[in-house]
């Protein structure tokens, strides 16, 4: 059984920064693409960043590209999301997720099967 435990998040003023972290259990972390998703009230959960199993390939959604950075440490089974220049529209619950199939790189919601508990990020104007 895979467990993803998130930390970080909170309240920040517009223009500020936050870092989210996700620690994974299990010995096969390094074989899977990991993603960060967010869900705002009344909206669908969407992928904002993803990183493949080696860390050599990344994806960013258009709204966050250039402001967010995803990284992973396979030795520590962790994936992080550094969020800079935060905007009020970044306010959402953020989730880390593990892709369903190892060795592939996908960003669609249905491709992910394990999720962290979710972390609220609130950006005030």
pLDDT tens profile 92-117:
999 999 999 998 999 999 999 999 99
Give residue 27's pLDDT.
80
pLDDT tens profile 42-53:
999 999 999 999
Which residues have a Cβ under 8 Å from the Cβ of 116 and sit 6 or more positions away?
A: 4, 5, 6, 22, 95, 96, 97
């Amino acid at each position: 059984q895979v467990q993803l435990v998130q930390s970080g998040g909170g309240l920040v003023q517009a223009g500020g920064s936050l870092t989210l972290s996700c620690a994974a259990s299990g010995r096969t972390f390094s074989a899977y693409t990991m993603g960060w998703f967010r869900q705002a009230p009344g909206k669908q959960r969407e992928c904002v960043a993803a990183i493949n199993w080696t860390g050599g390939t990344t994806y960013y959604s258009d709204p966050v590209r250039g402001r967010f950075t995803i990284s992973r440490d396979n030795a520590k089974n962790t994936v992080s999301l550094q969020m800079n220049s935060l905007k009020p529209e970044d306010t959402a619950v953020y989730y880390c997720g593990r892709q369903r199939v190892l060795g592939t790189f996908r960003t669609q919601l249905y491709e992910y099967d394990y999720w962290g508990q979710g972390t609220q990020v609130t950006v005030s104007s």
